[in-house]
Chain A
Amino acid sequence: MKATAINNNYPHVSHRDASLGYRRREHVLMLLLMSPAVLVVFVLLLIPLGWLIGQSFYADGFSLEHYQRIFTEGIYWNTFWVTFRISFIVTLLALLMGYPIAYAASILPRRWSMLVLALVILPFWTSVLVRAYAWLILLQRSGVVNESLLGVGLIDAPLALVHNELGTIIATVHILLPFMVLPLYATMQKIPSDLIQAGASLGGTPLHVFMRVFFPLSLSGVLAGMTLVFVLCLGFYITPELVGGGRTVMASMLVSRNIQLYSDWGAASAVSVVLLICVLAIFYVVSRLVPLEKILGAK
């Protein structure tokens, strides 16, 4: 009996060995399967990024000249100031508009909430370029908005709605709104309705329940949406280029001007690197408050 008991142990041990070897082989296989993706990321993302960073330190040998210029010359400061200001305003407007939409989508019956979300996502499938031109047509001097306002008699002269910072903000909010609504909706949907009912049963008015229960629970979604919109806005290019009238110079346009006007790849790279560091810093700060996968994957 004893012997068999011991004997019985052996198959168990050898089985464990086999499973370990099997797992290891599985790991190798997984790595192999992943290798095309890793290779793509490495070749198309990491190498160019390294090259970009290298170039930003290069001017006839190693040099900090490009960075020095960014931190001392007025135009660079100005551009970053404009970029952050526009991004901040856009984020705020997107939140003010996106929160009620996401809230409505989360409390409406499923069929209606799908409709609301579809309306949010639909413009998403139209090219950014097309939407910028659409805003031009709507907002320009002889555009639909100005003509209607003039027709109704609300204004005497056309308003300058586009070819300036205002036009840039309007068009950018439109483009980035889905990035606010979707994380907000994902968060709100997971707030148990029992909590709201509990709040109400304890005598809270709807407003009180919303402020004390619902809103604080939706804050992680607010933060996720704001981060996404802000970060995406920092790098916006086509929209300010087309509807900004040439005066609204954002950081990405500074990159392109540096190359197109001055063929200065080092300066352009340095601006890109600074912008990238800003984005990473924002993500770092936010990740201390909300898990990063919640922002990126909207878990």
Chain B
Amino acid sequence: MMKDTNCLKYLFGSSVMVIGALGAGQTLADGEITFVSQGSAYQDAQTVSILDPVAEALGITIRQESAPDAWPMIRTQGTTGQAVWDVVDTPPLNCVRGGNQGLIEELDFSQIPNAESMPEEYKTPYSVAYEFYSSVLAYNPEAFDGNPPQSWEDFWNVEEYPGNRALRNHPLGTLEAALMADGVAREDLYPLDVDRAFAKLEEIKPHITTWWTSGGQSAQLLYDGEVDMLMMWNGRVSAIINEGADADFTYNDGILQNTHLCIIEGAPNQETAVEFINAAIAPEYQANLPLHIDYGPGNPAAFDTGKIPDERARELPSFPENAERQVLMSYEWWASSAGEQAERRWLEFMQR
């Protein structure tokens, strides 16, 4: 998964996938689907807030599996035509890339009325937004004496904001931040000027103490005071703030990201899968999610249900006022060949 690519989870995910594949012999009766998400606290939160209520309301059985990185399995199931999974909760990059390669079903939105009111950019032909998180600028307030960095421009300004810095060891989101630091307006980011982004990254590279690889690592860096400012996922900052760490973050210049729901090509329970997706993005269930974890609902209509207390809503990345200050990551661009080439340049950049 994009939020947690540490190797242990990856291995764990692979083993779960193998177990899942072994159970593939039995065909599922109608009224059952296999739903795949990314495990850990995030999947637990969904189970309570969305999956269990939806299963009860539709009278279906939801078999759960988890895979931190679903892409290899999507590719295997799609290409062999031996689909075991039905619905996958995964970054839209996988849905779009999968759809382009015939591994993911195209969605018939006439069957998904709950998606109608959602903003167009929260949907792709193959998928629909399920939940939101954000890559934000987090910092240690103690280190800045009332004047913390509030934008990527500040992050790149090593004169005025001295201190140790960290960025994610991954191009997604990092290239966006570099361009914003270079003065590109949020609405003009895509298509990304990749050369310009890497040139700007080259500038900050000597000042980066650590390029983190897992969400847990980013949290540890800020918690231990190893770095003074860094890009990290909002849920991770909130978690250490709750633990009493000297930490804060801003949604300014945040890179709003989400995971989408999509259906594997040739999934065994297509009809139920579509029914499930429609129910899972219904505002009343979507509104439950932020009560259990620091992620925002994929369907903004959830904010109008009255279920989410106002104070809580203001903390969430997809709360309209927060969303306005951020840029929505374009997975369509990252799925394009320009995006794939940019991704390939990352390793070369790190090595130089």
Contact = CB atoms under 8 A, between A and B. Distances in A.
Interface in B199-223: 209-213, 217
Interface string A223-262: 0000000000000011001100111010000101101111
B69 A260 contact: yes
B343 A141 contact: no
A140 B224 contact: yes
B169 to A, nearest CB: 4
Contacts of A113: none
B66 to A, nearest CB: 17
B26 interface: no
Contacts of B212: 246
Interface stretch (A19-27, A33-41, A73-81): A73-81
B350 A247 contact: yes
Contacts of A247: 211, 350
Contact of A75 (B164, B170, B348): B348
Contacts of B164: 141
Interface residues of B, number: 27
Contact of A141 (B169, B170, B225, B348): B225
Nearest to B68: A260
A260 to B, nearest CB: 6
A287 interface: no
B347 A257 contact: yes
Contacts of A75: 347-348, 351
Contacts of A249: 347, 350-351
Nearest to B172: A261
Nearest to A257: B347
B270 to A, nearest CB: 26
Given A141-B209, A142-B225, 9 more contacts: A238-B7, A246-B211, A247-B350, A249-B351, A259-B72, A260-B5, A260-B69, A261-B170, A262-B344
11 contacts: A75-B347, A79-B351, A142-B225, A237-B7, A241-B213, A242-B217, A245-B209, A245-B210, A246-B212, A249-B350, A262-B344
Interface of B: 5, 7, 10, 69, 71-72, 75, 164, 169-170, 209-213, 217, 224-226, 343-344, 346-348, 350-352
Interface of A: 74-75, 78-79, 137, 140-142, 160, 163, 237-238, 241-242, 245-247, 249, 254, 256-257, 259-263
